[in-house]
Amino acid sequence: MIPITKPFLPDITKYNEYLQKIWEAEYLTNAGPLVKELELKLKDYCNAQNLFYVSNGTIALQLAIKALDLKGEIITTPFSYVATTSSIAWEGCVPVFVDIDPSFLTIDPNKIEAAITPETSALLVTHVYGNPCDIEAIESIANNYNLKIIYDAAHCFGVEYKGQSIVNYGDISTLSFHATKLFQTVEGGAVITQNLELAEKISYMRNFGHDGQEKFFGIGINGKNSEFHAAMGLCNLPEVPNIISQRKKICDLYDSILLANYKISRPEIRKNTRYNYAYYPVLFEDEKALLAVKEKLNNHNIFPRRYFYPSLHTLPYIKESKMPIADDISSRVLCLPLYYSLSNEDVYKISRLILEVL
C-alpha cells in the first residue's frame, strides 16, 4: 500500500536514549526537562522570541483566539483543514469566509474589506500547503481596521518568507506537529508570538491558568504536552533539513513527469518563499477527472487525499455563503503521496497511472 503520507521515524536507538532519561527523571509531563529543551530548540530553529509547545495544533488555535480576547466575527478562509474553522466556532466566535486566490489558493486579500463589519475582531488565515498568504496586503488591511491577525501555519514548518521565519508574522502564528506533518512529535503544536504581554498570558493559559499551585492567573486549558512527545521532537528536529531536501527531490520528480501534461497544474508558490514541500497538490481540469484518477490509484492500493474537500463554508454548523473559487478548487485538487521514504519507483508508478487516465 502507498498511503498519502507516512511519518518520519528517527533511529529507535536515539529515541530509547531519551526514554532512558524519562525513566531516570521520573518526570512525564507538566513542563518537564525534555519539553523545555524542545521549546528552546524550536525557538532557535524558528528564530522566535516566544514559542510555546502545546498538545496539538487545534489547541494552539484555540489558545490564540482566547489570548487575543477575540469576540464576534473572525474572517477566515474556506480552504483549509476543518480545525481552522472549528476552532473559531468552538471559542464562540463567528467564522466569516472570504474566497481564495485561484493561483496561490490562500485567502484573497482583495475580497477581505467587503467582509469587514463592526463585529469583525480578527483575521485567521492559513498559509495553504506551506504557501504564504499575501502577508503585506493582509497586514495593511488589519492595520487600517484595527484587526488582530492569527496565521494558521500548520503546513509551514521550516518555511521562510522574505528571509524571515513564516511564524514571526502577525499577532500570533500556530504550528502543528501531528504525525502527518514533515516535523512531527506524534501529537503536538506550537503558539508563537513576538508580543511579550501575549506570551505571558499564553504561558499561564496552556496550564489551566495556574500561577503556582494555589493561585490562578485567569482562565486556562490543559494545553501541555508530554516528555514522550518532546522526545520524538528532539530526535526529529535535527533531521528536518534532510527531510525537506528529500521531499523536494520527490516533488521535482513528480513535476518532471506530470507537468508535461496540460490537463494537470500546480498551485503557484509566492515569490520570496523558501518552501518546505509539505504537500504535493495537483489540480485537474474538473472533478470528473479527479475522481477517475482517484479510483484508478485506489484500485492499485494507492491512496491520495482530497486536501481540502469539501470547502469549509459547507460545514453544517456554518451559515451558508457562496465561495465559488473555493468550491471549484476543492472539487478538483488532489494531494498525491509524499513522504520521506517514498521511492522513485513509486513516484513513477503513481504518475504513470495518472497519465493513463488522462
User: Which residue has 506570551 as its cell numbers?
Assistant: 199
Q: 226-244 burial, b if ≥16 CB within 10 A, otherwise e?
A: bbbbbbbbbbbbebbeebb
Confidence label for 208 from pLDDT (cuts 50, 70 and 90):
confident
222 phi and psi angles, rounded to 5 deg: -85, 90
Can you list the domains of the chain with their CATH numbers?
A: 12-98+106-238 (3.40.640.10), 240-357 (3.90.1150.10)
Per the confidence metrics, is the pTM higher than 0.85? yes
pLDDT tens digits, 5-62: 999 999 999 999 999 999 999 999 999 999 999 999 999 999 999 999 999 999 999 9
**Predicted confidence band of residue 281 (pLDDT cuts 50, 70, 90):** very high
Look-up of cell digits 467564522: 95
Distances (CA, A) of 16 to 23, 199, 218: 10, 33, 38
Cell 496552556 maps to which residue? 206
Q: Looking at the predicted structure, is the pLDDT value of residue 218 above 90?
A: no
| pLDDT at res. 252 | 98
Residues 52-88: pLDDT tens digits? 999 999 999 999 999 999 999 999 999 999 999 999 9
Res. 207: pLDDT tops 90: no
Per-residue model confidence (pLDDT) at position 51:
97
The residues, any chain, with a CB within 8 Å of residue 302's CB and separated by 6 or more, are: 1, 2, 337, 349, 350, 353
Mean per-residue pLDDT over the chain, rounded: 96
**% of the chain exceeding 90 in pLDDT:** 94
